[in-house]
Amino acid sequence: MLSHHLRAFIGDRERALWLRSGDLSRLHNAHICGITISENADPDVLHDMETHLNRIVPDVGDPGCPTIRHTEEGPDDMASHVKSSLTNTSVSIPITNGKLAFGTWQGLWLLEHRFHGGPRRLMVTIQGSPKKSKP
């Protein structure tokens, strides 16, 4: 599992937020990835996340893997679909005073569940109440 930390991606857009309050929603268009908010300060969190997801949903050929029929795109095909269903495919982040309201240690992760993932695209929707304009 590869996690692309998306905080830098968000930070570039955060400066442009013109909302006093609202909501930013992100949805990725791949059915074999997950998107989630989790602790971003300790790299061991990513390692532990991958370890536990792989224990719950092993790939074809791994010990403990049940019989899987859907393997057209490789041994990680069906496992990636299951992992994507267990993780989020979209997140909603509150906006407070024009800033994304992450917790101190939180980061936004794009979780790649395939052995060799391809390019991924995110769709972003922002809605809310505008800041008062200056006189």
Residue 135 included in any domain: no
Helix (H, G, I), strand (E, B) or coil at 48: helix
Distance of alpha carbon 83 from alpha carbon 81, whole angstroms:
6
Number of domains in the chain: 1
Q: 34-60, pLDDT tens digit by residue?
A: 888 888 889 899 899 989 998 888 877
Question: Can you give the pTM of this predicted structure?
Answer: 0.71
Residue 18 included in any domain: yes
What's 88's domain CATH number?
2.60.120.460
Q: Which residues of the chain have pLDDT under 50?
A: 1-2, 8, 12, 15-16, 135
